[in-house]
Amino acid sequence: MNVLHVSTPFTWRGGEQQAAYLAAALQQQQVNNLVLCPSRSALAHRLHGTEVEIAPYFSRGFMGLSLARRIAASTRMYPFDVVHTHDAHAHTAAVLAAALFAMETPVVVSRRVDFPVSDSVFSRWKYNHSSVRKIICVSHAIREMTAPALRDQSKLCVVHSGIDTARYTDAVVPADIRSELGLSPDTRLVGNLSALADHKDYPTFLRVAEQVLKELPDVRFIIAGAGPDEATLRQQIHKMGLQERVLLIGFRTDVPEVMKSLDLFLITSKTEGLGTIVLEAFAGKVPVVATAAGGIPELVEHEVTGLLSPVGDDVSLSHAVIRVLRDAGLRETLTAAAARKAESFSFRMTAIKTLDVYREVASNRQS
């Protein structure tokens, strides 16, 4: 099996992590992978020196035409069975490669975003193009959102994203975040490790922090991440007078260590494809309080693997945080069930299920 992966972001977020995990795991399944990605992207940097071969490109060009031409040329030079696109721009470029440059290789699309397909003529065209043989949704919630846009809904399938649970062994020592921030060793920490982006709804996170601190003034909140909303978030923290209690610690590469430093993981997203960072909390045995956004309820079973609240409901979320922090027995029950659930979401299992999709597409192409 030969697969051309196409990824266009320069940044490192969940989709890029999943692409890297997938390509690495597929190598172990005797799949030949080539990852087409921007030359200075975080994905190219992460894959450099690994067994996964990368093919850097320098420009998508107008409407992705340059990348489309590159994809088509790549499929003519090497007998790829599938072109797997990992984001919307890659999807566009692959369909244009088929429509304008006579690419015959079937396309598999990953759909990770928690909102419906646009009603625009172009979006409907690219999702229904004959070159697109399968659309892999990262959750059942995303499948349901995507379905109305498709004439042939049999193209849709669900393969949950996965994580590297091996990074969360008992040997992993929590990061010394408290010392780093000048906090007492017994300070309880509530945190999130996600991009500073609008859909993560950090304004709700701050409102929850404000309410929790009225009841538990010694708790501190940390946010580990970077993104376009950082300046706005800092302004909101200052305006609310929370500078000493809600701390931004920047983008971290030591995610398991930081995660295991937390007493509670709080995610307040208003949209979320699946929320693999929740799985990281599960694997780290950190109790989770979350919003019921997108695919999160497929991970967080209320009162079983975590506590769920409606999107934007800071009152419900703050009550849940206080409840978990005050109830040691509840924390133990939730984290035990969550750790068991995390084991069924390994990135290797994601790769095996994705390979089954490739084989189905390749088989239909040959018949």
Give the domain CATH number at 170. Answer: 3.40.50.2000
Ramachandran region, residue 285 (left: φ > 0; alpha: ψ -120 to 50; beta: rest) = left
Q: Is residue 84 a contact partner of residue 4, using CB atoms and an 8 Å limit? A: yes
* Confidence band, pLDDT 50/70/90 cuts, at residue 64: confident
Give the pLDDT score at 366: 65
CA distance 365 to 168: 41
Cα–Cα distance between 57 and 37 in angstroms, integer? 6
The yes-or-no verdict on residue 367 having pLDDT over 70 is no
10, 136: one domain: yes
Q: Does residue 188 share a domain with residue 147? A: no
Instruction: Report the C-alpha gap between 228 and 319 in whole angstroms.
Output: 29
10 shares a domain with 142? yes
Q: At what angle do helices 347-366 and 14-28 cross, to 10 degrees?
A: 70
pLDDT digits (tens, 9 = 90+) for 96-155: 999 999 999 999 999 999 899 999 999 999 999 999 999 999 999 999 999 999 999 999
CA–CA distance, 110 with 18 (Å, rounded to integer) = 10
Sheet containing 82-85, strands listed edge to edge, beginning at the edge strand earlier in sequence: 53-57, 32-38, 2-6, 82-85, 107-111, 132-137, 156-158
Tell me: do 142 and 194 sit in the same domain: no
**pLDDT value of position 11:** 92
Q: How far apart are CA 170 and CA 172, in angstroms?
A: 5
5 sits in which H/E element: strand 2-6
pLDDT at 62: 76
Phi-psi region of 312 (alpha: psi -120 to 50; beta: other; left: phi over 0): left
The closest of 129, 86, 133, 130 to 111, measured between CA atoms, is: 86
Task: Give the predicted TM-score (pTM) of the model.
Answer: 0.91
Could you tell me if 178 and 258 lie in one domain? yes
Same domain? For 68 and 152 the reply is yes
Question: Do 6 and 96 form a contact (C-beta atoms < 8 A)?
Answer: no
pLDDT at 170: 80
Q: What pLDDT score does 160 carry? A: 97
> Would you state the structure tokens that stand for residue 154, as one six-digit string?
């049999």
Q: State whether 190 and 209 are in the same domain.
A: yes
Q: Which residues on neighbouring strands pair with residue 109, listed in sequence order?
A: 85, 135
Across-strand partners of 148? none
Q: Are residues 53 and 145 in the same domain?
A: yes
> Is the domain of 106 the same as that of 211?
no
Instruction: Supply the DSSP string of 84-96, one letter for each residue.
Output: EE-SHHHHHHHHH
Q: What is the mean pLDDT of residues 335-349?
A: 96
pLDDT band at 21 (very low <50, low <70, confident <90, very high): very high
253 with 140, same domain? no
Percent of the chain with pLDDT over 90: 94
On the question of pLDDT at 171 being above 80, the answer is: no
Residue 169, pLDDT score: 86
DSSP per position, 17-86: HHHHHHHHHHHHTT-EEEEEEETTSHHHHHHTTSSSEEEEES---GGGHHHHHHHHHHHHHS--SEEEE-
Q: Which amino acid is at 225?
A: G
Within this chain, do residues 201 and 153 fall inside the same structural domain, yes or no? no
Domain that holds residue 127: 2-162+346-366
**Do 146 and 187 have their domain in common?**
no
Provide the number of structural domains found in the chain: 2
* Amino acid at residue number 61: G
Residue 201's CB is within 10 A of a number of other CB atoms, namely 21
Mean of per-residue pLDDT scores for the chain:
95
